[in-house]
């Protein structure tokens, strides 16, 4: 019922608009019509015998048609751009950018059209300055998040599905959603972090995604076609006491790596990243093809590593 009512309203509005447009065009091109005669009788002078065509249309109608046409063309181009990038971003971002384009383009051309009339230009500038000041004070944070979100969307330091690590925020996980205001991250603890985009610009972000070449046989039997695929390498850190045997630690790492070799796309690589009087810290790179596998894999690997280490220390 609502569907039919909405379309009836649209049809009535469009019909009225087309009727007014048709009547206006007839009044311009047809001589001695009622509308033109009525206007000329009221505003006609010796200097301007036909003010309806020379003044009214030339000053008001033709500029309105030009500004409206340019605005419609820009809106169409903006929608075409959003259609081209919709597969790279979420639907939420596409809808937000669509609304943002309407907010910028439509008021800009309305102001540009009104600003050509001197009688309204001073008042228009005053209203614009007042609104600009009020909006600036009221939405500094919002505008900052908006600009930061646009920068992240265009520069693409990470995309939806990437596993990222933000040490300063103690946050890591798979990017679930990226909007112009915030970024949603599914964390290993089961919670979803909602991070304002403005804060991400000032933070160090580690993206675990790595692009590698994947050779796939093409239709020809003698040629290979190279294409790129994404894999995710998580830097798992593990600290042991400095007085612990390095050999025991290595054996525990290698044993745990063998237990998870079927879940990993590459062999586990490891190295010592730091050592002091109390601790020796190892880093193991866990590589998978699906970023969501890292959410549980890192914790499970660490638990198995600790169990293997305790078992090896007991035996040795």
Q: Are residues 224 and 298 in the same domain?
A: yes
Look at residues 157, 143, 141 and name the one whose alpha carbon lies nearest to residue 209. Answer: 157
Last residue of a domain, one of 93, 108, 138: 138
Last residue of a domain, one of 84, 107, 138: 138
CB 40 within 8 A of CB 51: yes
With respect to residue 9, please indicate whether it lies within any of the assigned structural domains: no
Q: Are residues 53 and 134 in the same domain?
A: yes
CB 264 within 8 A of CB 258: no
Token pair belonging to 160: 């939806």
Neighbours of 206 (CB within 10 A): 13
CB 291 within 8 A of CB 186: no
DSSP labels, 73-118: HHHHHHHHHHHHHTTTS-HHHHHHHHHHHHHHHHHHHHHHHHTTSH
Q: Are residues 256 and 194 in the same domain?
A: no
With respect to residue 216, please indicate whether it lies within any of the assigned structural domains: yes
With respect to residue 238, please indicate whether it lies within any of the assigned structural domains: yes
40-81 pLDDT, tens digit per residue, is 777 777 667 777 777 777 777 888 888 888 988 998 998 888
The pLDDT score that the predictor gives to residue 36 is 76
CA distance 27 to 42: 16
With respect to residue 19, please indicate whether it lies within any of the assigned structural domains: no
The pLDDT score that the predictor gives to residue 301 is 95
What is the pLDDT of the chain when averaged over all its residues?
80
Helix (H) or strand (E) holding 163, with range, is strand 163-166
CB 195 within 8 A of CB 182: yes
Read off the CATH number of the domain in which 197 is found. Answer: 2.30.30.60
Q: Are residues 216 and 310 in the same domain?
A: yes
Helix ranges (H only) for 221-292 are: 246-259
Q: Are residues 66 and 112 in the same domain?
A: yes
207 or 14, greater pLDDT: 207
With respect to residue 1, please indicate whether it lies within any of the assigned structural domains: no
Q: Are residues 174 and 251 in the same domain?
A: no
pLDDT at 208 over 90: yes
Q: Are residues 232 and 186 in the same domain?
A: no
Q: Are residues 125 and 191 in the same domain?
A: no
The SS3 assignment for 153 reads helix
With respect to residue 120, please indicate whether it lies within any of the assigned structural domains: yes
Q: Are residues 120 and 180 in the same domain?
A: no
Provide the domain count of the chain.
3
Burial of residue 215 (number of CB atoms within 10 Å: 0-12, 13-18, 19+): exposed
The pLDDT score that the predictor gives to residue 177 is 86
pLDDT at 172 over 50: yes
Token pair belonging to 129: 């300055």
Q: Are residues 275 and 176 in the same domain?
A: no
CA distance 230 to 156: 15
Read off the pLDDT band of 128 (50, 70, 90).
Answer: low
Neighbours of 93 (CB within 10 A): 22
CA distance 69 to 74: 9
CA dihedral 300, 301, 303, 309 (to 10 degrees): 160
CA distance 72 to 56: 23
Last residue of a domain, one of 111, 138, 165: 138
Read off the CATH number of the domain in which 274 is found. Answer: 3.30.70.100
Task: Write down how long the chain is.
Answer: 316
Q: Are residues 228 and 170 in the same domain?
A: no
pLDDT at 86 over 80: no
With respect to residue 14, please indicate whether it lies within any of the assigned structural domains: no
Look at residues 154, 284, 290 and name the one whose alpha carbon lies nearest to residue 209. Answer: 290
Q: Are residues 63 and 112 in the same domain?
A: yes
The pLDDT score that the predictor gives to residue 225 is 58
pLDDT at 256 over 60: yes
CA distance 197 to 184: 10
Structural domain of 233 = 210-315
Neighbours of 297 (CB within 10 A): 20
Read off the pLDDT band of 231 (50, 70, 90).
Answer: very high
With respect to residue 24, please indicate whether it lies within any of the assigned structural domains: no
């Amino acid at each position: 019922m609502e569907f039919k009512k909405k379309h009836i309203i649209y049809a009535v509005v469009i019909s009225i608009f087309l009727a007014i447009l048709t009547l206006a065009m007839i009044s311009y091109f047809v001589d001695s019509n009622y509308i033109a005669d009525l206007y000329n009788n009221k505003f006609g002078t010796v200097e301007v015998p036909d003010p309806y065509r020379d003044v009214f249309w030339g000053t008001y109608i033709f500029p309105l048609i030009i500004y409206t046409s340019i605005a419609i063309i820009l809106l169409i181009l903006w929608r075409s751009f959003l259609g081209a990038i919709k597969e790279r971003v979420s639907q939420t971002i596409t809808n937000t950018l669509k609304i943002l384009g309407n907010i910028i383009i439509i008021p800009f051309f309305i102001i540009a059209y009104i600003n050509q009339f001197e009688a309204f230009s001073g008042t228009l500038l005053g209203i614009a300055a007042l609104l600009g000041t009020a909006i600036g004070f009221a939405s500094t944070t919002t505008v900052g998040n908006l600009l930061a979100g646009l920068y992240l969307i265009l520069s693409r330091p990470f995309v939806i599905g990437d596993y990222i690590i933000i040490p300063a925020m103690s946050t890591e996980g798979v990017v679930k959603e990226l909007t112009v205001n915030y970024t949603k991250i599914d964390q290993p603890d089961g919670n979803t972090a909602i991070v304002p985009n403005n804060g991400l610009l000032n933070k160090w972000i580690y993206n675990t995604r790595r692009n590698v070449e994947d050779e796939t046989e093409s239709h020809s039997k003698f040629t290979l076609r190279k294409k790129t695929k994404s894999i995710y390498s998580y830097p798992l850190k593990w600290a042991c006491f400095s007085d612990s045997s390095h050999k025991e630690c290595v054996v525990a790492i290698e044993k745990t790596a063998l237990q998870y070799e079927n879940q990993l796309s590459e062999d586990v690589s490891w190295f010592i990243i730091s050592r002091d009087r109390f601790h020796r810290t190892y880093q193991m790179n866990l590589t998978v093809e699906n970023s969501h596998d890292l959410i549980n894999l890192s914790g499970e690997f660490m638990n198995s590593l600790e169990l293997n280490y305790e078992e090896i220390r007991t035996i040795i």
